[in-house]
Structure 1
């Protein structure tokens, strides 16, 4: 490495070596002294694909590294999979406690991924949201233009909590949007659950109102994920009376806040949503900002 630096005249602080987690852990008694010698040269070191190998935490503490790179195997699913989000949360918290930066590989693909990782204080994102790989000349021009993170992607917005509506019937969504929009609620309506998870990652939603019987994912399964990933959001099932029994069980488990029968009048629905907003805002006030804006991110 020293010869390569001498031959290229590259300053060592501009070179970072990525070491795979498995290779680093295969023979720590040999790899740790080697890392220390590389650090004396002035190189930066990172552990690549962290979270998929067999890291020994006692050795990780000894490694003279600068950052951990979250494995691309689970980062792309953090907006839809509570397990992947929990792994990312745990690694980010652990890395920061060891004074290490965290890089999310594949976490810079969608606006939702960026916003959710920003709210978790991930330091660096690596993905196609910023740019696909470029030839050298185009890369130079790209960097000279001074690209930076859009201001609205430095964390989930928290000034005006929204209402999310989900139903597989377009006419129902239009009707609900009209009824609840007339009450002053800022409404987002859609039928695609994956798009809904993306929106939940990007914005602060006070209430989710969801039909139980929908293709791909039923209402309780969807709201159970919302509870795990966005626990402050109030979750309401708006469905047929036949779904009341199964929804009651979900309410008992805490996955659902309320059930509103679709045959009920508009006033019952309006009151349920208003109660949801009141409950959400009361919790937010008590917690003094449970959804803080994230740290500044680098692409």
Structure 2
């Protein structure tokens, strides 16, 4: 019997890779997009005609409930969110409405209209905030310190609440940073690889950064925030495999998904620019306008429980990931 999966937020990096994976496994895939006048979404152009696309929004609980009633999915993946930590400072109310309360709307719709469905909720490394440890596990205390992380912490705890209170098969994926060529330009790794491509290819009209400025200055400089910020970065295409595996498990659990390694923004610049024979120090500057009010401490994701119980482990190194992204952007920005 063909399984049906509902992906809330299919146009995202994770949503589109997850749709690819589920189609390969023979699922009927229903993916949501926010109401718009066009389906011209780069991450899902190759999926048009292969998946069912429905308009829904985490702010509109009825739009989610309708899909649960109509499709009776076997699996529900909530990937949607206001997903940019930096933007949560300028849009804290919207972040809470979508990233926190939106999850409750999903859980309520599942509880009332498709209680048999297995649910994956995307939470985040940001729920840990400042932690005095080398690596985070599933038992690491929650101590979020920015509006995005706090909203994700609420979402994570409500997922556990619905699992324990109503018996829903609901899992939280505590994912550390994960990147790919499908990552939005709001995120630093894509900013770096897109800038490398624009500089190398001498692009006359580069894309805009999150402040609405050309990504590359007339002098060929890329402006970034805190260059010594370190993150545990993995490959999104591999992380969606962990999402699927969680819902195939015998019992619902939360899992940390990471690589148990960390690299700085400066490391990412060095690798990306070196891939095309350039010295990053000649092209990258730190801009105070891009600094955050608070910065999370270095923390790596200990994926040992996921490896033990799900058989999941990262396969792509950070250097390989940055090179994959540079190559994709060299082809994209001509």
TM-score, L = length of structure 2: 0.26
Q: Taking CA–CA contacts closer than 8 Å with sequence separation of 6 or more, which of the two structures ends up with the larger relative contact order?
A: 2
Larger-Rg structure: 1
Q: Which has the higher helix share?
A: 1
TM-score, L = length of structure 1: 0.28
